[in-house]
């Protein structure tokens, strides 16, 4: 599940560079 979540974040970042900050925050929260 976590891997799928990361994959979605990566895809979102690749599609919209403007979401880089939210993706980073989401990834940090997911790992913590």
Give the residue from 23, 24, 26 showing the smallest Cα distance to 12.
23
Residue 15 CB: number of other CB atoms within 10 A?
9
Mean pLDDT of the chain: 69
- Closest by CA to 12, choosing from 21, 31, 2, 30, is 21
State the pTM of this model: 0.32
Determine the Cα–Cα distance for residues 1 and 28; give it in Å rounded to an integer. 16
> The tokens 């599940």 sit on which residue?
1
Residue found under tokens 């790992």: 31
Look at 8-12, 18-22, 26-30 and tell me which has the smallest mean pLDDT.
18-22
């Amino acid at each position: 599940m976590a891997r799928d979540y990361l994959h979605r974040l990566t895809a979102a970042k690749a599609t919209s560079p403007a979401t880089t900050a939210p993706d980073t925050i989401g990834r940090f929260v997911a790992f913590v």
